[in-house]
Structure 1
Amino acid sequence: MSRNKQSDEKESSADNVDEYLQTLGNDDAREIRYYSQEQPFSSEDMTRLINEERLNKLLAQSDDFLSSLNGEIKDFDE
């Protein structure tokens, strides 16, 4: 193992948390950190990544849930 790899492994999650907390008070550093984590996706990437069948099932489930909830709220009001 090289010396650099060993020093990288010694950086703990506590070090990462400490670095993050230090940026909280600095709006510019926080903004840079936030935008540096963004990854642009093309429409082709999104099409490849999204399981359209599963998405449609989830949307149908959420519609059913909201309809049911709406019915319960109406019953509660009466």
Structure 2
Amino acid sequence: MKDDFKKNNDNKSSADGVTEYLQALENNDQEREHLYYSQEQAFDSDELATIINEARLTRLLTQSDEFLHSLSGEIADFED
């Protein structure tokens, strides 16, 4: 039995061993990713409403609009 194992092992190159090891790692990563994403749950609108600070979100959106507007003006001035 040891001789059979040794013969099978002798027929393998070190590249085959590396390939098998990398495939095992990839399978492990895929299993971990599947487990991670299987635990995700969708939020309904009521849950989101309790999490999101609407006033803060509105202020951030206003600031981003003002920034983009000023940036557009700077770009237009730069082209002239």
TM range (shorter): 0.5 to 0.7
RMSD: 2.7
Q: Percent identity?
A: 58
When you count helix as a share of all residues, which structure comes out higher? 2
Q: 1:71 aligns with which of 61, 70, 73?
A: 73
When Rg is computed on C-alpha atoms for both structures, the one with the higher figure is: 2
Structure 2 gaps, min length 5: 1-22
Q: Secondary structure at the match of 1:41?
A: coil
Relative contact order higher in (CA < 8 Å, ≥ 6 apart): 1
CA distance in 1, matches of 2:26, 2:58: 42
Count of residue correspondences: 57
Structure 1 gaps, min length 5: 1-21
TM-score w.r.t. the length of structure 1 is 0.58
TM-score w.r.t. the length of structure 2 is 0.57
